[in-house]
Amino acid sequence: MKALQKLWWLTLLRGIILVLLAFFVFRHPVEALVGVALYVGISLLVTGIVKAGASFSLRNTIPNWGWGLAGGLIDILFGFVLLSNPALTAASLPFVVGFWIIVSGIMSLAEAFQSRKEANSLWGFGMVSGLISIVIGYFITNNALVGMLTITTWMGIGFAIAGIVNIMIGFKLKTLKDF
């Protein structure tokens, strides 16, 4: 805890950077979405390299190591594809997110029906949340602008909340007494 107390300013600095990043996301949503697309592309590239390297280096100890190698190579391929045209990736991101929300909503509906069969009195909440998810996912996938604004708005809100929390923790660490 003493190390955290001594470096309280790093937590404060991280919070300030996150709040500034939130302002950037709100002011420049398209650029923020392109940044997310670049991040996803780089992440896939790095994880693909690690997966492929680990699978290949452990080929004598892991049965079916070829599947891990294949998965790593596919990640590398997708990473290159996403990085080759970040604008196209950013444009398709709302469709991917919207589809994911629709699938999550369908899963919530299925769980709600199963809960109803099991006489769970809270099954209605699952039903409502599933239907809301499907509707939101529909709007995101059918209107790219709405999808882009939804994604960037939630990103900005997340950065702002994380930044404020880090700033509060930084100041709290500064004022803590040695114990």
Q: Which of 95-99, 112-116, 168-172, 173-177 has the highest mean pLDDT?
A: 168-172
pTM: 0.64
For residue 1, what pLDDT band results from cuts at 50, 70 and 90? Answer: low
State mean pLDDT over 76-98. Answer: 86
Could you report the per-residue pLDDT of 145-176, keeping only the tens digit for each?
A: 888 888 889 889 999 999 999 999 999 988 88
Q: Which two tokens stand for residue 137?
A: 């996912």
pLDDT recorded at residue 119: 82
Instruction: Write the CB contacts of 59 (distance below 8 Å, at least 6 apart in sequence).
Output: 65, 69
Which amino acid is it at 78? F
- Give all strands (DSSP E) within 9-167, no chain letters: none
**Distances 107 to 95, 99, 113, 127, 134 between C-alpha atoms, Å:** 18, 12, 10, 10, 10
* CA atoms of 136 and 162, how far apart (whole Å): 24
Contact indicator for 44, 79 with CB cutoff of 8 Å: yes
pLDDT recorded at residue 88: 84
What percent of the chain has a predicted confidence (pLDDT) above 70?
98
- State the residue for tokens 């923020």: 32
Could you report the per-residue pLDDT of 14-44, keeping only the tens digit for each?
A: 999 999 999 999 999 888 888 888 888 898 8
For residue 82, what pLDDT band results from cuts at 50, 70 and 90? Answer: confident
* Size of the chain, expressed as the number of residues it contains: 179
